Amino acid sequence: MCRLGRLGGEFPYRVGMPGDDSTIGDDPLVDGMALSLRLRRDFTVTDADHLLTAARRIYRELDPDTSAAEAAGTVSCAADALFVILEHAGLLGDAADDRLSGHAVDGLAVGGWRAQIVVDEPAPLSPEPRSDCLRGDVFALSPRDHED
């Protein structure tokens, strides 16, 4: 069985399929294997005006040729603000892709990525990762997210 560890306990990582309660994380690593990462981070907006202003400033840092008016037009909602901040932090976008592409020599080729912002998630994750471990599929979308 493959077990991951760190100081103070296990990683809050889950390997496997939703609803599968069997031993997880023991798949052998083989050439051609496709690995997908579903990452979820929950945030709470404590100052919307300040956050939007900061995101527009950060957007201009990422694209210095952009005017303040263009930044205001481009970064205009919650998802825009969060994506810009995550890109600036290196969690999404070119910076993350560049850092991960350095592992090509180690046998890991970077594929595409997609991200989705969910507003007003009815069951937000706790800041304490271990408290969510028995909650079920934290990646399942609520029924309202499936509506057309």
Per-residue pLDDT reduced to its tens digit, 23-80: 455 688 899 988 888 888 899 999 999 999 999 999 999 999 999 999 999 999 999 9
> pTM for the whole thing?
0.70
* Tokens coding 29: 């690593």
| Cα separation, 118 vs 38, whole angstroms | 14
Please, are residues 130 and 9 in contact by the beta-carbon 8 Å criterion? yes
Q: Which pLDDT band, with edges at 50, 70 and 90, does 145 fall under?
A: low
SS3 content of the chain, % helix, strand, coil (to 5): 35, 0, 65
Q: Measured between alpha carbons, how far is 57 from 68 in angstroms, rounded to an integer?
A: 8
**Mean pLDDT comparison of 28-32, 45-49, 114-118, 132-136, highest-scoring range:** 45-49
Banded model confidence at residue 139, pLDDT cuts 50, 70, 90: confident
Dihedral pair phi/psi, residue 9, rounded to 5°: 140, -165
CB-CB contact of 87 with 93 (8 Å): yes
